[in-house]
A and B are shown apart, each in its own frame.
Chain A
Amino acid sequence: MGMSALLNEASALVATYREKNKVIDAALAAAVKAAPELYKIFYVDAVLGDDATGTGDKTKPFKTVSKACSTIPYGGGGIIYLADGQEFVLTADVKIAKKNIAIYPTPGYLVKPTLRNICLPAGTPGFSAGSSNMTTGFLVEGSVLVLRSLRIRTADYVEPAAPVMNVYTGFIRRNDNHCGTIHADMCDIELGDTRFMRNTINGQLAIVSLYSVKVTRVGPVVTNTPLFELDGTPLVLSVGGMTLPAGATWLNDLLQGVRLDANGLPRNVLTNIIL
């Protein structure tokens, strides 16, 4: 092959490379553009918001916390701002899997927004047959959930006289998987008939921190509702500046299901408080 032919061959090769490079660059740019943005900021307004037409933007807020949580992408995170003083009811379970979510009042708020879960009557699909008062709540799986400056009201029994109570109650529950990390600060937790957190069975570890949280018991049926129900499941619990009901104690009262060894030492709770 002569020199001229070699040059032609080389030029063709370079041209082919450049063309392929353009295709690859374009494909890469398209892929990056198509990837979801993992960090989100959403606004939720129970009165003015709309889950169907809202975008979660400040001017087009969602209506429910559930919609905001589900819109945060798997593996992502963000902040959900709740409208000043409004009540947000969890009418169904809110599953948070592999997400990092913080729920705050909208900046400049005057009254803490209320997050409330509810009990559901027997016969609700998904219930154990014959049991009643399963609650809705956050089902947390390998996630971080931060609650700040909120009023949290746990559910009252919807069927107080039911012969069999469903065990799946809790404003926060683990979702048959590693639970994750829960943090609440400057919140008022009002315990109705059902507990704040239930993390039981199968040994899933939960890490919970509470700071400057006020807990009250408001019943109306259960007047000694625990904050946590563990049934021996491991919990790492860090608390500071807690204001609790008069006469309350941590062990076997606010914190139930603690497993003690022969020396009376807790084996499933690692905590900074003296139980």
Chain B
Amino acid sequence: MSSVRVLAGTRKGAFILTSDGKRKDWKISGPHFTGWEIYHLKGSPADPNRLYASQTSGWFGQQVQRSDDGGETWNPISAQFTYDGVPGTHQWYDGTPHPWEFKRVWHLEPSLTEPDTVFAGAEDAALFKSTDGGNSWTELSGLRTNATAPGWQPGAGGMCLHTIILDPTNPERIVIAISAAGAFRSDDGGKSWKPINKGLNSKFLPNPTAEVGHCVHHIAMNAKTPKTLFMQKHWDVMRSDDAGDNWTEVSGNLPTDFGFVIDVHTHEPETVYVVPIKSDSEHFPLDGKLQVFRSKSGGNEWEPLTKGLPQQDCYVNVLRDAMSVDALDDCGIYFGTTGGQIYCSPDAGDTWNTISEHLPPVLSIEVQTLA
């Protein structure tokens, strides 16, 4: 019988939650890496027992951990992230040039086919790749040396590369997103990159439709339709049907189109999920009601999903990497909150169960569907 393994990164360690395919009863292990911030952990699609975790601390810096047994045991691997050549400058908050400085890894994306190959998205924004299981890292510096890079500027959370999407039909195609530079795509395996922000409109920019400078919060893709991308921007929910070349707004009837997470149903490429957040200055749900919104039409028409979610006095946030979906026949949807709750819907969002309620603030959620 199939089972699922939920990988939760939190402010004070990593937790692993497991359940059978019913997704009703859960076992929790952890905290792993007690006291450290775990920005993200994710399993290899090619070998589910191979997990990678980004472990970081304001005091003790960046570490990366690897497990070869599904999270039972872990070992540190290389955390030597060195920018290629002279790093150069990007714009600082005050508009002055500021040198690129490595701070942490926000996201680890294992290859779809090779367990020893993994990508790391860094702050200050850069993409690194390892082909030896994390024993060494090489920057794909064509991104950071893109002609637009000197004008990139950090968002409030830092200038982080937080989203990495690998195209299952084209190993040369990678889509990434940076706050607050925008989305970029490579069609040659990461050697060269181009901004893909046409159609985005950001009122905080002097030119709201500028080529770069957009605060993209997250991008999601269904593996069956890799040219279709869904984006939760700072404000606005967007979609593209040409791998990011052009974007159109699909916020439709959402009560607020600010938010961080976005994800797509595993089996229904037009079924999309977001968690609307009140505003950029009020990072909590509208009216204290935690609601996931689902569109079955690829956007524009959204319905609130509330059964099992708190509908009063709820003032948590759901951060950009804290939603995931499983691949069971009845697609499960998962998300974690800054209040330490993890919710699971075993029926594509119709009803929700709390599978953990007192963890540290949740930074990321990934789900593995195990045979």
User: Are A and B interaction partners?
Assistant: no
